C-alpha cells in the first residue's frame, strides 16, 4: 500500500541542499507502486516529479506543490551474448555503485563514468558523460512509463535520440516519461576507454600505458576528488550539482566569432565534433570572463577547485543560486558572445535567465 507523505523537506534529499518542501511525497520500490502513485496523482490533477539521487536538480524555495516520487526500483540482470554482455538495471540503482560492480566484473564501457552521483534512471535522460565516455555508447534499451497514457514503452537507443548531454526524454517531451529500467551492452575483459587528454596525461605521468579497468576507475575518482566532484561531506565545496553548465557547442560561424573575442587569451580548449561544430570548455569561459575559482556572492559561489561547479554555502537559498548563475551566464555572454546553458533541472521558481 502506498505511503503518501505530506510536506517533506526536499533540501536534504539533494546534493545542492536548497529548496522547500514537497506537498506530497512517496518512495516506490516496485513497478506496481509507481503505477499506483501515478494514478493517485492523476486522480488529484497533480504534477509529478521524479527524484533519484538529487544531484541534478535545483528545488525552488517555495517547494513543489505536486507529488514527488523517489525512485527506488532496484535489481540487476545479466545476459551473456558471447563477445558482449547485456546488463539490465533498475532505475533506482545507485549509479557509482553500479559502475563499480561492472568494473569489478571486468565489463568495459562505463569505467570513465565513475564517481558520478545519482541513479541509473537519470543517465539516459541527459546522456551522462565524462572523461571521454557517454552512456549513449553502451545503452541499448530504455524502459519508461508514459505518464499520459499510463503504459510502459520500450525505447531503442536510436529512439532515445541521444546527443551531447541531451535525449528525447530531456528536450523533446520533458517530464512525460519516467525511466524504470535501462539495459547496457558491455564488453568483458576489453581494454578501458583512454581517449580523454587529461586521463592520458595522468597515466603518462604514472608510466602506465595500458591501465586496467580498475586502475582507470581509481584515476577517474582521484581526478574528480581533486576537483571536488565527488560527494564528500567534509569538502567545503560539497554542496553542489557538480557541473552547473553544459560545455557549449558552437557552429563554425559562432566559433570564428568567439575566436575574435578571445584574441589575446591564449589557446582556448576546443573539441571538434563529428558534425563540424566545436565544443568549448564552459569552465575556461567562466574563468576568462572574470569569475575566478572561489568567487563568492553572499552564500553562493564557485567551487575553489573547479569553476564549473556552483556551491551553496550555509544559509544559501535557491533564489541565491539562480541569481548567481544568471550573473555568470551574463558575464560570459557579454565577454564572449556565448550563452551557457544550465545542466541541472529547476523545479519551480525563477531560472537563471539572461534577461
Catalytic residues: 165, 243, 343
Is residue 24 within 8 Å of residue 42, measured between CB atoms? Answer: no
DSSP per residue, 296-331? EETTEEE-SS-TT-EEE-TT--HHHHHHHHHHHHHH
**CA-CA distance, 18 to 292, in Å (whole number)?**
23
- How many Å apart are CA 197 and CA 245, to the nearest integer? 21
280-291 core/surface letters (b: 16 or more CB in 10 A; e: else) = bbbbbbbbbbeb
> Nearest-CA neighbor of 313 among 335, 305, 249, 321?
321
Distances from the Cα of 237 to the Cα of 88, 171, 246, 317, angstroms: 34, 30, 19, 16
CB atoms within 10 A of CB 146: 14
Residue 19 Ramachandran class (φ > 0 left, ψ -120 to 50 alpha, else beta): left
Q: Is 153 exposed, middle or buried (0-12, 13-18, 19+ CB in 10 A)?
A: middle
First to last CA, the chain: 47
Amino acid at each position: 500500500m502506498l505511503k503518501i507523505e505530506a510536506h517533506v523537506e526536499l533540501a536534504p534529499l539533494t546534493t545542492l541542499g536548497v529548496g522547500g518542501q514537497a506537498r506530497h511525497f512517496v518512495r516506490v520500490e516496485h513497478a506496481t507502486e509507481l503505477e499506483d502513485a501515478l494514478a493517485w496523482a492523476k486522480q488529484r490533477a497533480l504534477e509529478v516529479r521524479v527524484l533519484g539521487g538529487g544531484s541534478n536538480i535545483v528545488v525552488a524555495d517555495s517547494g513543489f506543490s505536486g507529488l514527488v516520487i523517489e525512485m527506488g526500483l532496484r535489481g540487476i540482470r545479466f545476459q551473456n551474448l558471447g563477445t558482449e554482455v547485456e546488463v539490465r538495471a533498475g532505475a533506482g540503482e545507485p549509479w557509482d555503485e553500479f559502475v563499480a560492480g561492472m568494473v569489478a566484473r571486468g565489463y568495459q564501457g562505463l569505467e570513465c563514468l565513475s564517481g558520478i552521483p545519482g541513479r541509473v534512471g537519470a543517465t539516459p535522460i541527459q546522456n551522462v558523460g565524462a572523461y571521454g565516455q557517454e552512456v549513449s555508447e553502451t545503452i541499448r534499451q530504455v524502459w519508461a512509463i508514459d505518464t499520459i497514457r499510463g503504459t510502459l514503452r520500450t525505447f531503442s537507443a536510436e529512439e532515445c535520440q541521444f546527443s551531447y548531454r541531451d535525449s528525447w526524454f530531456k528536450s523533446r517531451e520533458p517530464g512525460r516519461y519516467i525511466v524504470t529500467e535501462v539495459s547496457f551492452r558491455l564488453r568483458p575483459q576489453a581494454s578501458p576507454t583512454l581517449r580523454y587528454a587529461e586521463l592520458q596525461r595522468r597515466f603518462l605521468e604514472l608510466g602506465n600505458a595500458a591501465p586496467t579497468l580498475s586502475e582507470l576507475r581509481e584515476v577517474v575518482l582521484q581526478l574528480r576528488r581533486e576537483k571536488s566532484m565527488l560527494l564528500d561531506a567534509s569538502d567545503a565545496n560539497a554542496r553542489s550539482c557538480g557541473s552547473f553548465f553544459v560545455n557549449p557547442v558552437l557552429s563554425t560561424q559562432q566559433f570564428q566569432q568567439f575566436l575574435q573575442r578571445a584574441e589575446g587569451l591564449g589557446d582556448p580548449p576546443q573539441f571538434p565534433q563529428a558534425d563540424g561544430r566545436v565544443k568549448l570548455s564552459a569552465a575556461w569561459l567562466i574563468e576568462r570572463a572574470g569569475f575566478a575559482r572561489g568567487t563568492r556572492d553572499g552564500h553562493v559561489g564557485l567551487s575553489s577547485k573547479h569553476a564549473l561547479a556552483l556551491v551553496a554555502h550555509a544559509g544559501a537559498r535557491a533564489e541565491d543560486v539562480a541569481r548567481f548563475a544568471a550573473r555568470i551566464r551574463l558575464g560570459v555572454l557579454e565577454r564572449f558572445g556565448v550563452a551557457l546553458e544550465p545542466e541541472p533541472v529547476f523545479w519551480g521558481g525563477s531560472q537563471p535567465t539572461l534577461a
